Structure 1
Amino acid sequence: MQISTRFTIAVHIITCIDYFKDTLPVTSSFLAGSVGVNPVIIRGIMSKLKEAGIIAISQGKSGMTLARPLTEITFYDVYKVTDCVNETGLFHMHENPNPNCPVGRNIQMAMEGKLQDIQAVMEQKMKETTIADVAVDIREKIKQAG
């Protein structure tokens, strides 16, 4: 199991917009340089963030801005926006266990509820963690580096 890098890229984008808001215009090219990916990837994620009302994008010199305060943007918001999980859930069972094997016949039933519980706990923790938490840590690291 692995959550797509779109999640961490989106958090990076949001944090950059906040950090550089008063000093530089934040554009997709600028963000691509910071994240280390192609601007096309940045623009795709930005589009999803804009649709979700997390960022605002303006053509011209101002670039991007946050549509909501960092304290109101949770990891869960970003996780949902970046399509890290679909309606079937985060975990996907292998599709062809042997029905003639007692383990194969029962593995899905035995694991399904446990995996749903694990996902629910993770998502609850994501709802409690904001992008502001990340921004605080980044600013502290920058301050320590002098």
Structure 2
Amino acid sequence: MNSQYAVAVHILSMISTFPDQSSSSDIADSVGTNPVVIRNVTGQLRRAGLLSTQRGVAGASLTRPPAQITLLDVYRAVNGEASVFRLHEHPHPQCPVGANIQATLERRFGQAQTAMEQELARATLADVMSDLALQDLAARAG
């Protein structure tokens, strides 16, 4: 998994928190990346139905409340249905390990993928935003 997933959650959090400051430049400043990266990830989020944008108009808006956007929705928006885990393609079929490793790893990796997706389905963008607010309060107090 690359950093696009974390960037996508960051983008959605920014748009939800600061709807009037959601230009790609503003978000890029917060993420610490180039606005082109933000526009690319925003496009993925828009195609997944999580964001609404208007051509020629700066900014974007969430298509549903943060409590109704799961982290699994965001994960699938930027990663599709692909698994986090990838198998190597050409194990040696005559080797006792090589002949059996694919099936063994597919089962184990599948279990891990399912567990991860179940956890992401339980967490929402609202949960992330709540965590951010708690961290902000802790930073102010400390």
TM > 0.5 fold call:
yes
- The amino acid across from 1:93 in the alignment is L
The aligned residue for residue 8 of structure 2 is 10
| Residues 1:70 and 2:60 aligned together | no
**Residue aligning to 1:80:** 76
Q: How far off its partner does 1:145 sit?
A: 2.0
- The answer as to whether partners of 1:6 and 1:45 remain within 8 angstroms in 2 is yes
Aligned residues: 139
Give the Cα–Cα distance (whole angstroms) in 2 for the partners of residues 107 and 51 of structure 1.
36
Structure 1 gap segments, 5+ residues each: none
Q: TM-score, normalised by structure 1?
A: 0.87
Name the CA distance, whole Å, in 2 between partners of 1:48 and 1:74.
16
SS of aligned partner of 1:48: helix
* 1:141 has 2:138 as partner: no
Q: Which runs of structure 1 show a deviation greater than 6 angstroms over 4 or more consecutive aligned residues?
A: none
Any gaps of 5 or more consecutive residues in structure 2? none
Establish whether residue 26 from structure 1 lines up as the match of residue 27 from structure 2: no
Q: 1:49 aligns with which of 40, 45, 48?
A: 45
| Root mean square deviation of aligned Cα | 1.6
Q: Percent identity?
A: 37
Cα distance in 2, alignment partners of residues 44 and 69 from structure 1: 22
Match of 2:113 among 101, 119, 126: 119
How big is the shift at 1:144? 2.1
TM-score (norm 2): 0.89
